[in-house]
Chain A
Amino acid sequence: MENWYAETGPDEDVVISSRIRLARNFKDIAFPARANKKQQDQVISIIKEALPEMNCYLMNDLPNLEKEYLIETHTISSDLAKSKKNSCLFTNDERASVMVNEEDHMRIQSVFSGLRLEEAYDDCLKIERNNKLQENYAFTYEFGYLTACPTNTGTGLRASAMVHVPALVISGKINSILDSCSKLGIAVRGIYGENSGSGAHMIQISNQVTLGQSEAEIIASIKNIIGQIAVLERQERQNLLEKGGIHFTDKIYRALGILKNTRCIDTEEALKLISEVKMGLDMGILKGATTSDIVTILTNVQPACLQKIEGRILTPDERDEARATFIRENIAKVE
Chain B
Amino acid sequence: MLCERCKKNEATMVLTKIINNKKTVTNLCAECAREAGNTMQMPLDGLGSIFSGLLGLETLWKGGPIQSIGTVKKCPSCGMTKEDIMREGKLGCGDCYITFIDEIRPLLRKIHGNCLHHGSVPNVDEPVKVRKEAKNEAPEKSPVEMLQDKMKEAIAKEDFETAAALRDQIKELQKEGM
Give the B-binding residues of A (Cβ under 8 A): 25, 27-31, 33-34, 103, 121-122, 125, 128-129, 131, 134-135, 137-151, 153-155, 157, 185, 209-218, 220
Contact = CB atoms under 8 A, between A and B. Distances in A.
Given A134-B123, A211-B112, A141 B77 contact: no
Contact of A139 (B88, B112, B113, B122): B122
B118 interface: yes
Contacts of A141: 117, 121, 143-144, 146-147, 169, 173
Contacts of B144: 141
Interface string B135-178: 00000000110110000000000000000000001001100100
A167 B96 CA distance: 47
Interface string B53-80: 0000000000000000000000001101
Contacts of B127: 122, 125, 129
Interface stretch (B13-21, B38-46, B103-111): B103-111
B122 A134 contact: yes
Given A28-B77, A134-B122, A141-B147, A211 B117 contact: yes
- B126, B130, B146, B173 — most chain A CB neighbours (10 Å): B130
A128 B173 CA distance: 25
Q: How large is the interface on B (under 10, 10 to 19, 20 to 34, 35 or more residues)?
A: 35 or more
B6 interface: no
B111 A155 contact: no
A246 B81 CA distance: 65
B133 A151 contact: no
Contact of B169 (A25, A140, A146, A220): A140
The DSSP consensus for interface residues of chain B is helix
Given A141-B121, A150-B104, A214-B133, A34 B112 contact: no
A31 B115 contact: no
11 contacts: A27-B94, A30-B77, A30-B92, A33-B90, A129-B126, A141-B169, A146-B91, A146-B94, A150-B108, A154-B108, A211-B111
Contacts of B88: 33
B83 to A, nearest CB: 14
Contacts of B119: 144, 154-155, 157, 213-215, 218
A142 B77 CA distance: 20
Contacts of A220: 134
B130 A148 contact: no
A241 to B, nearest CB: 37
Contact of B130 (A30, A142, A185, A214): A214
B167 to A, nearest CB: 13
A198 B54 CA distance: 34
A29 B93 contact: yes
B44 to A, nearest CB: 15
A135 B116 CA distance: 22
Given A155-B117, A212-B118, 20 more contacts: A29-B93, A31-B91, A31-B93, A33-B90, A34-B80, A135-B122, A139-B121, A140-B169, A142-B176, A143-B97, A143-B117, A144-B118, A148-B91, A149-B90, A150-B89, A211-B112, A212-B117, A214-B129, A214-B130, A216-B134
